[in-house]
Amino acid sequence: MKIGIIGTGNMGKIIIEALIESKAISPSHLYITNRSLKKAEDIKEKWNKLNVSHSNEEVIASSDLIFICVKPHDVFDVIQENKKCFTKDKCVVSITSPVSVDQLESLLSSSCARFIPSITNRALSGVSLLTYGSRCSDKWRKDLTRLAEHISTPVVIGEHVTRVASDIVSCGPAFFSYVTQRFIDAAVEVTDIDRETATVLASEMLVGLGDLLKKKVYTLPTLQEKVCVKGGVTGIGISVMERELGDVFEKLFEATQEKFVDDIEGTKSQFGV
């Protein structure tokens, strides 16, 4: 199987690097391009057998499975400008949540799917979200799932939970990175610990927490029970968080849902569905 990547920005590059390093595909079977070719050529410097194409059309013609890794409002143009190249035997995959598989299928005869990655996939970890079009062949469902398994734990989702699932899986690392940074900043400001030490301690704590959950040693609720001793320091800290955080996470999801609605309206005006 030959894979094409249109767009080598942050997420496109993560997919390329993860697929190669997981040995899901040989660099020689990967075809990539970008509006600014230098970004694609910079990636080739690391893997010289990688194929850098000079146009989207060239990538599509050379590939069986094509990932469209451009901004939501650019997906329509990529498809329209190269519509004749997306033949029925190919599979087209969007990685952006505002573009639905129904919209892809409204323009294309090829198998269509959506693959929403996470930055954690760069470490061959975390979750990737998959949604398959109604006309996506069984072969492509199996092939894309198998490919995703090399770099993540793939989870198939419906359109109705696309935004919230993306918030948790794809945006979540940034959200919790921000919370952790604030955690470190507060420790440095209030106590005598230096920033470097606090950063090491917090980072290793997160890695250990992930291991506990991955190995199913504890669930999130049982972990809190184990650490919180009645009247102890952790309990006091949790009480402060309960009081001060309020409905911050509810507001977070409300805000992302509102932005998602705006994004969807934008793609609907392009695709007409």
188-230 confidence digits (pLDDT tens): 999 999 999 999 999 999 999 999 999 999 999 999 999 987 7
- Tokens 């469902």 sit on residue: 141
Q: How confident is the model at residue 273 (pLDDT cuts 50, 70, 90)?
A: confident
Give the pLDDT score at 16: 98
Predicted TM-score (pTM) of the model is 0.93
Q: What does the pLDDT read at residue 204?
A: 98
Residue 23's SS3 state is coil
Q: Centre a 10 Å sphere on the Cβ of residue 126 and count the other Cβ atoms it contains.
A: 19
pLDDT at residue 131, as a whole number? 98
Domains, in order of start, for the chain = 3-159 (3.40.50.720), 165-252 (1.10.3730.10)
Question: Is 90 exceeded by the pLDDT of residue 78?
Answer: yes
Q: Tell which residue, 20, 250, 141, has the closest CA to residue 3.
A: 20
Share of the chain above pLDDT 70, in %: 100
Q: Tell me the residue type at 175.
A: F
The arithmetic mean of pLDDT across residues 174-193, rounded, is: 98
Q: Within 10 Å of residue 273's Cβ, how many Cβ atoms? A: 11
Average pLDDT for residues 92-97, to the nearest whole number? 97
Check if the beta carbon of residue 114 is closer than 8 Å to that of residue 100.
yes
| Mean pLDDT taken over the chain | 96
Q: State the average pLDDT over residues 119-145.
A: 97
Q: Quick check: 143 pLDDT over 80?
A: yes
